[in-house]
A and B are shown apart, each in its own frame.
Chain A
Amino acid sequence: MATSVRTKGVAGSKPLFDRDILSAAIRSSFVKLDPRVQVRNPVMFVVYLGTVVTLVASIIHTSLFSWMVTIVLAFTVLFANFAEAMAEGRGKAQADTLRRTRTETEARRLGPDDIEEVVPANQLKTGDLVVCEANDVIPSDGEIVDGVASVDESAITGESAPVIREAGGDRSSVTGGTMVLSDRIVIKITATPGNSFLDRMISLVEGANRKKTPNEVALSILLIALTVIFVPVVVSLEYFAHFSHTGIAIVTLVALLVCLIPTTIGALLSAIGIAGMDRMVQKNVLAMSGRAVEAAGDVSTLLLDKTGTITFGNRMASRFVGVGGTSNEEMARVARLASMADETPEGRSIVVLAKNEYGIRDNEVGTDYEFVPFSATTRMSGVNINDTQIRKGATEAVKRWVVDQGGEVPSEVDDLTKEIANAGSTPLVVAQNKRVLGVVELKDVVKPGIKERFAQLRKMGIRTVMITGDNPLTAAAIASEAGVDDYLAEATPERKLELIKEEQEGGKLVAMTGDGTNDAPALAQADVGVAMNSGTVAAKEAGNMVDLDSSPTKLIEIVEVGKQLLITRGALTTFSIANDLAKYFAIIPALFIAAYPQLKVLNIMHLHSPITAILSAVIFNALIIIVLIPLALRGVKFRPAAAGEIIRRNVFIYGVGGVILPFVGIKLIDILLTVTRLY
């Protein structure tokens, strides 16, 4: 039983080049030399075949040059393997940690007539009922049918604080591998053996059944096309050269081919994809498919739950207003007295506001203070100090209380409460004996910084829609304060589903989060449906991602990871293709200088000799893969901005940079080769 408690989620926080991962990756680079593995990556397979050809050529006509080319090409293949192995290694390390938590547990199966029998966990079938008590590991995924328990889910979520799970409602699902800390629950198993959440999670982070995503497939096809085209370019060159009374050694032709085909992106493509999934895992999100990660980048509408995402979820006091001659300060003092013992967030916020606004901070509670707790029947709470009775509560309740004692309620109160309600807040009326003193405005407080976040999203072309059960008036007020583009008030699961379908009708991709069973249809309909890990099994089945933190703001991060994945792919493709120009200027003059010495004008880099020119080009081609591995794994830095701005920056860095950098790099390698007198 190793439920190691970690603080940073499943991913942990491994450095990019962890020592263990590194050595495993190096080993794996050689294992991947198996042609059956290589053939899956057509671009690198061409390099692989080329290496075999130059190897044979080197053996037949041995020369330092041909051996050098062969070695560099072999390293090109190894570097590509290494990139992929590094990406996989990080996932494997995470999977190993998870696997350690999946111990062989025994389950207490409840037979008919409530007789318990102990069976190994892997023999449980869906529909079986099992009993778990304190310190039992939950044997498999299921739904609580009876009881309440606190559960330690740190094995899955990395969050050490226990969570409450109870039968019925939206918090009934439990995950195999987590541990019951207290009480007794009866669980109905919902997962077949080997197909539990934990199993799926392990295979996901390991990338064992990784399928290429749609965009990755399309890009692979383009890369194959760019490889195919250079085969006739290079082969025809042999005949062209022959016509020009010069010959090109096969080794040189292979070197040229390898330099021209898009090896940089070809070598890094799968690493980029694996690393993208991995970044999701690091954010504690499990994407059930790479397709969903990609779709996240394309999302143009976000449906966000108001509570928890946009507002804190608790109403907080924001204003004291006295009526009928009572000053605001006096009103604050009394409201504070009434709330001294109130441990609800609203009550505490009144105490805090009184301190912040009027500096009222004396903490002594007299012995004659008699606190009246809130009850559902009175809908009020307060305090009695000798004869003085202070009450605060819902407007109607307090008004009735005052009238019952023979007091009068000034019309001012009605106006004020209506005004506050119209602004989307909740009025809390405070009365002392027969007199209404004033009103506390309880506001649904919008999280700080959320407005800026939405502005960023808008800049990125993403529309935000707030979903709330509030009435349209309240919803409108909060929506305008939070700066969302639209809202859905009095939302029901049906209306949510309708809204998603409407948005999709126009070709938009929609993302949403949800946790309840009644969210399931909407989660399934959404292009990116993020289910809270705390949610029901139905919700988790319906969505295509699970957020282990159950954090409602996660959606925004998910979109960013999706975009980053696509940007990284595009940037490295552009870079790879742009590199070719310099390689031509290195190799073409080197090839033909014997036939037409005047072609040396094309040798604009002034490379030392044809041999160093060709070697420099292939060495650059191999080294650039290694240099770019960190970028492929980490992803291109993403700053939220409009598309035009992003493309300008990236075209400049990876396009223009991709043209210039190899000129510099090849020249440097050439100098090194010359200085070291290798040639």
Chain B
Amino acid sequence: MRFAIEVIVLLVVLGLIWRYLGSYLTAVFMGRVHFLDWIELPLLGLLGIQPGAEQSWRRYLRSLLVFSFVSLVLTYLLLALQGHLPLNPEHLGDVTPSLAFNTAVSFVTNTDWQNYAGGTTMSYLSQMVALATQNFVSAAVGLAVAIAVIRGFARKRSNTLGNFWIDTIRGVFYVLLPVSIVMTLVFVWQGAPQTLLGPAHIHDVLNGVHQTILRGPVASQEVIKQLGTNGGGFFNANSAHPFENPTGFTNFLEIVLLLCVPVALTYTFGKMVGNIKEGVAVLMAMIILFAGTFAFTLAAEKGGNPAVRAAGITSIRGNMVGKESRFGVDNSVLFNVASTQTSTGSVNSSADSYTPIGGLGMLAGMMYGEVSPGGIGSGMYTILIFAILTVFIAGLMVGRTPEYVRKKIQKTEIIWASIGVLVMPITVLVLTAITVALPDGRAAILNHGPHGFSEILYAFTSQGNNNGSAFAGISSNTGYFNITGAIAMLIGRFGVIIPVLALAGSLAAKEEVPVTAGTFLTATPMFTGLLVGVILLIGALNFFPAVALGPIAEAVSHGRFF
């Protein structure tokens, strides 16, 4: 009952955020808000950019790639040299090159896959300057791409998609920073530490033990971790750690934070293309996918461990292995499903300890391509690719050249949309296949049989979708996993951004098609249904064999391989 109320409150809060944040995002990216000109204009001046300057899709993409490359190099250097840099009260050494590379790629691509234990590997400087900065800017990059793609639909006969630098700066200063500053205070109030004093050393006289309690600028990291759908925790235990996620209230806030921008973007999309209902249709598809996956996972976890059940032991609280008793099954599942479906990857319970079918629920959210609602920006632009494929296949059945939001979908769009959809599954499947085939890969797995297979599949699915959620169970801080993981993350990020910007460029240049009674209307439940069907079908077709050998085989074997 309490949980039902929580879900209702969550829906109401998200509904309000959808409406008002969506509206605010529209105003920010249409350049109608100016209260931060005093920050924006000097920054643009520094970069040598005229306010209001526009870029073609190629220029937009080039700026994005240059920016990401520079970010990658800087982050790598900061990590690799952290032992020689200040703000390192624990005197942690340099991060090894392969780990530094993997981590730099991970944060630049908004993945936040962590092949390291947060609190004991990264100095404060690394956390704050290298990683937290990327948490902000990589999120802003995703947001910028989504906005550029929406502009592709909204504009007609236009050669430009906006300006990457302006969009990114606006995303950081108008959206991410203000929310982060306010919410950090709330987290501090709730008990999350925010200090540069280094770990606390406690000598427990009574028991005669010496304790070191890790702390640091946690609250500020935590908010952007969720808001930017990053997911990289300050501590290894991520949001299960009481310093990261002190109370039930912060747990609720964290869920809201990670869903808010991806959800609000559907409003922005509808607003910018001139019909809110177009955004609603997409939002509804996201909600159906999310709700279905959540219900599926929850049912599995409520049912408890099949092996335990088979032994005749019933558990009224469901599968509590690897879950915080303060959150219980309900809130653990809600958090983890929300986090895997937003490409955040933060967890408040151990994914590896979920039941096989529960694990499949989390895996599924990523396998559809992170669209429900997906990562910040990336969810929006990815679901638009699926929308294009949906109208192309189903829209033909009304007897007209398919159109989406008044734009004809033709050869160029299909080329880029196909690439955008193919890149992720190919990357995931090929890397998983190579890994299970190589002794290096197999050696890293702790478990054998289908569970071990699931661990590898999960690792590459998570990285290929820039999620960063970890099933754990594999020792992935090895040269092999650091490099292959980085490849998966780079392809998963830029392998989609490049075609999607090309797609947007082609759409922006097009003439609008007038809507008539002969048009396949996309602001309808019919379209939502078809979109969900196409996303599920493409996901299922790509991953069904792999999933059959992993979680499904494990589940039907009733824990024989646990």
Contact = CB atoms under 8 A, between A and B. Distances in A.
A644 B529 CA distance: 13
Nearest to B517: A461
B33 interface: no
B197 to A, nearest CB: 48
Interface string B374-417: 00000000000000010011111111110000100111011100
Interface in A543-598: 562-567, 569-571, 573-574, 577-578, 580-581, 584, 588-589, 591-592, 595-596, 598
A563 B434 CA distance: 47
A592 B519 contact: no
Interface stretch (A139-147, A216-224, A389-397, A664-672): A216-224
Nearest to B556: A598
Nearest to B557: A598
A243 B436 contact: yes
Contact of A650 (B397, B453, B552): B397
B393 A643 contact: no
A10 to B, nearest CB: 25
A97 B414 CA distance: 40
Contacts of B517: 458-461, 642-643
B562 to A, nearest CB: 14
Interface in A653-667: 654-655
A591 B534 CA distance: 25
B520 interface: yes
A232 B430 contact: yes
Interface in A483-542: 506-508
A260 B541 contact: yes
Contact of A566 (B396, B516, B553): B396
A92 to B, nearest CB: 28
Contacts of A240: 432-433, 436, 453, 545-546, 549
A173 interface: no
A233 B399 contact: no
A235 interface: yes
B48 interface: no
A581 B400 contact: no
Interface stretch (B75-83, B183-191, B342-350, B418-426): B418-426
Interface string B430-462: 101110110000100000011001000000000
Contact of B514 (A260, A506, A647): A506
Given A235-B433, A577-B537, A588-B548, A651 B401 contact: no
A378 interface: no
Nearest to B512: A507
Contacts of A563: 398-400
B511 interface: yes
A602 interface: yes
B397 A218 contact: no
B128 interface: no
B429 interface: yes
Interface string B524-562: 101000100100010011101110110011001110000
Nearest to A560: B399
A284 interface: no
Contact of A229 (B415, B426, B521): B426
B518 interface: yes
B429 A233 contact: yes
A87 B144 CA distance: 49
A651 B410 CA distance: 21
Contact of A239 (B406, B436, B524, B540): B436
B513 interface: yes
A300 interface: yes
Give chain B's interface residue range (CB within 8 Å of chain A). 35 or more
Interface in B128-144: none
Contacts of A596: 450, 549, 553, 556-557
Contacts of A565: 399
**Could you say which of A214, A239, A243, A595 has the most chain B C-beta atoms within 10 Å of its C-beta?**
A243
B438 to A, nearest CB: 10
A71 interface: no
A297 interface: yes
Given A228-B422, A240-B546, A300-B518, A592 B553 contact: yes
A462 B518 CA distance: 7
A242 B557 CA distance: 18
Given A215-B410, A506-B514, A642-B518, A647 B397 contact: yes
B405 to A, nearest CB: 13
A458 B433 CA distance: 55
A16 interface: no
B516 A297 contact: no
A225 B537 contact: no
Contacts of A225: 418-419, 421-422
A235 B285 CA distance: 32
A601 interface: yes
Contacts of B511: 507
B453 A243 contact: yes
A567 B398 contact: yes
Interface string A589-631: 1011001101101100000000000000000000000000000
A2 interface: no
Contacts of A458: 517
**Could you say which of A240, A241, A460 has the most chain B C-beta atoms within 10 Å of its C-beta?**
A240
Contacts of B450: 244, 596
B399 A638 contact: yes
B398 A507 contact: no
Contacts of B397: 567, 570-571, 574, 646-647, 650-651, 654
Given A236-B433, A588-B545, A592-B549, A566 B399 contact: yes
B394 A570 contact: yes
Given A232-B430, A240-B433, A462-B516, A222 B548 contact: no
A589 B542 CA distance: 16
Contact of B389 (A222, A236, A592, A654): A222
A33 interface: no
A648 interface: yes
Nearest to B427: A232
Contact of B399 (A219, A564, A602, A644): A564
B557 A297 contact: no
B553 A239 contact: no
B544 A588 contact: yes
B544 A643 contact: no
A250 interface: no
A643 B521 contact: yes
A76 B545 CA distance: 24
Contacts of B442: 243
Given A215-B410, A236-B430, A460-B517, A651 B526 contact: yes
Contacts of B400: 297-298, 563, 566, 643
A570 B399 CA distance: 8
A595 B409 CA distance: 44
A588 B550 CA distance: 13
Given A215-B396, A233-B545, A567-B398, A242 B437 contact: yes
A237 B398 contact: no
A461 B415 contact: no
B411 A218 contact: yes
B522 to A, nearest CB: 11
20 contacts: A218-B413, A228-B426, A229-B422, A229-B425, A236-B429, A237-B545, A239-B437, A244-B549, A300-B516, A461-B518, A563-B399, A565-B399, A570-B395, A577-B537, A595-B549, A599-B552, A644-B524, A647-B395, A647-B398, A648-B526
Given A642-B517, A643-B400, A647-B526, 12 more contacts: A219-B396, A228-B422, A232-B433, A236-B546, A239-B433, A300-B516, A462-B516, A507-B514, A578-B537, A580-B537, A598-B557, A647-B520
Q: Which 4 A-B pairs have the closest CB atoms?
A: A570-B396, A461-B518, A563-B399, A461-B516
